[in-house]
Each structure stands twice: as C-alpha cells, then as structure tokens.
Amino acid sequence: MDTETVVRTRRALHAVAELVLAGPQYRVGGTIRLRACAGGFATTVEPRLRVIGAELVAPGQVLSLERTSCTVIGAALGITVGAPAGLYPDGSGGVEDAIEVDPAAARRLLHCFALGDAALRGLSADAEPVIWPEHFDIAVTLDDVNYGVSLGDVHRPEPYAYVGPHTPRQGGFWNAPFGAARTIRELGGVSGIVEFLDQGRGLASGA
C-alpha cells in the first residue's frame, strides 16, 4: 500500500478522533481519553461513539468515513464537533477539512492500536492504555516514562512504538528526540513491541 494513502487515512482518522469523539466527549464528560476497541477506537463516556475501520458507529447509526468531513458527520449525529478547547496548542486540522479514509489502510492502521493495547497491558498488569487525541497514540506512563504506539506523524510516517522518558537518557538505544522509537514493521507484533518497551524500561531505570 502506498505511503500517501496510509498518511491521508491516518490524518483523517486523527481528525475524527479529535474533533468528533474527543472534543464532544470533553464538553459533555470532562475527559479527552479514548480507548482501543475491537477493530478501532471509541469514546470512554458520552457520546458513545466508535470508529471501526472506515466507519463511525453511533447508537442506531453507521456513517461512512471514506469521503466526508467532520462537519458533515457532526450534522448527521446531531453534535457540535471541534477540538477540546484550551487543552493543547496542536491538533489534527479544521472541522471543515475534507477527510478520506481508505478501508484497507484504516484496518492496517487501527490494528496497530490493538497491538499497542495488548503490548502495554503486557508491559504492566496495572496499565490502562489511553488513546490521546492530540498526537493520536495509545500510551501509558510508568515511573515518569511514557510508553506507547503511535500510528505515525510528520517525522515517522508509519506506525511505531516508543519509549519517552520525562528526563532524557543517553546511549545508543535512544534514537529519537523524545527517547527511543522502532517501527511496528520492524518489531513484528505484540511480543516484539513488549520486548522493546521492556528493554526501554530497564534502560530508563538504569537497570
């Protein structure tokens, strides 16, 4: 699958996560936290919304995300879309922007959230992974170190796992400005992600 399609789909899913799920959820329930679910991601409180592949699922409605905009989706759902106000400076884009979700690319990308959720729970039995809408990643924080899986960004266009100590560390393992990162393609699956995160945890702690 070509990189352009994957990146376009990721940006579209990011917009929906932030503007259609997290923003309205924050205004109703006071939290921007999203969660992984089978086939995609979902809100944690009202409004009860899920993105499964290239579709948004609401009570009594299923909306296609293949060619639309957040404004159109909001009108169909009867909600006011938009980012959580005043919480962070960056985001996914404007509510009027056209979005295009390729179903195959969406399945591939959202599978990485499932891998990340399983790996983070494997890293710590007490972990409760959160999908954060600002950067569109799934993560936990343990002992002042962030662990997670991102679906990609401007610096790394493909999904990757990362370890981000709040205080920078030195050494060959730390290959990114925020800490360390390895692509999901390189790591292969849940066991590879857990091994990478656990290695980072040991190095971050000085073990």
pLDDT in tens, 180-203: 999 999 999 999 999 999 999 999
In the chain, the number of structural domains is 2
Does residue 80 sit in the same domain as residue 17?
yes
Q: Tally the C-alpha atoms within 13 A of residue 57's C-alpha that lie toward its C-beta.
A: 12
Is the same domain home to 114 and 173? yes
Residues 111 and 71 in one domain: no
Both 23 and 99 in one domain: the answer is yes
The pLDDT value recorded for residue 155 is 83
Specify the pLDDT at position 160.
98
Q: Are residues 131 and 63 in the same domain?
A: no
Judgement on whether residues 71 and 52 belong to the same structural domain of the protein: yes
Q: Of the residues 104, 137, 172, which one is the last residue of a structural domain?
A: 104
Q: Is the dihedral angle over the CA atoms 14, 19, 20, 23 positive or is it negative?
A: positive
Low-confidence ranges of the chain (pLDDT < 50): none
Are the beta carbons of 69 and 97 closer than 8 angstroms?
Answer: yes
Using one digit for the tens of pLDDT, what is the confidence trace for 73-110? 999 999 999 999 888 877 777 767 899 999 999 999 99
Q: Are residues 111 and 73 in the same domain?
A: no
Residue 207: per-residue pLDDT: 57
Residue 112 and residue 98 in one domain: no
Last residue of a domain, one of 104, 134, 168: 104
Q: In sequence order, which residues have a C-beta less than 8 Å from that of residue 153 and are 6 or more positions away?
A: 135
Range of the domain at 153: 107-205
Residues with Cβ within 8 Å of 198's Cβ and at least 6 positions away in sequence, in order, are 123
Say if residue 100 is in the same domain as residue 144.
no
Residues 140, 54, single domain; the answer is: no
Q: Are residues 26 and 78 in the same domain?
A: yes
Q: Are 135 and 194 found together in one domain?
A: yes
Q: Which of 84, 104, 124 is the last residue of a domain?
A: 104
Distance of alpha carbon 136 from alpha carbon 25, whole angstroms = 16
